[in-house]
Amino acid sequence: MPALLRLFFFSVLLTTVTSLECEICSGPGNSCSGQKVTCPSGQDTCLSLVIETSAGGQTVTAISKTCNMKDACAQLKPGASFDIAGVSGNIKEVACNKALPTSRSILLIVTGLLLLKVLF
């Protein structure tokens, strides 16, 4: 029975290790800065997307940084056109970076391993 309990605790700790952190922000222009947040489960990539839209003869550039899935991020290509809710434009820049593990995960792993040592 203790072996099953150890396996359970290890699985929980392994899940914690895969928590990832990305900067989240959006706004006009080519750059923005915001808070780093822990990405939801299944989102393993930080996406930075710069788009250009034209309206009334003016070109507007905007950026968005968020958590995303690696597969979805790979489908975004610079130069690709889009038309969403009557707004058309093109993708100017795409950066898909593997998100970094959160430092809290390391603390939880160490605490969990110490707890396992004490209990078993």
Q: Edge-to-edge, what's the strand order for the sheet holding 87-98?
A: 25-28, 58-68, 45-55, 87-98, 81-84
Is the separation of the CB atoms in 76 and 94 below 8 Å? yes
Pairing between β-strand 100-101 and β-strand 45-55 as defined by DSSP bridges: unpaired
Confidence of residue 84 (pLDDT cuts 50, 70, 90): confident
Helices (H) and strands (E) in the chain, counts: 3, 8
Cβ atoms of residues 44 and 98 within 8 Å = yes
Q: Specify which residues 40 forms β-bridges with.
A: none
Determine the pLDDT at residue 115: 56
The residue extents of the domains of the chain are 1-19+102-120, 21-100
Mean pLDDT of all residues in 72-76: 91
- Average confidence score pLDDT of the chain: 80
Percentage with pLDDT > 70 across the chain: 66
- Structure pTM? 0.66
For domain 21-100, the CATH class is mainly beta
Do residues 66 and 38 lie in contact, with contact meaning Cβ atoms separated by under 8 Å? no
Each residue's pLDDT tens digit, 4-55: 445 455 555 555 455 689 999 999 999 999 999 999 988 999 999 999 998 7
Where helices occur in the chain by DSSP H, the ranges are 2-17, 70-74, 103-119
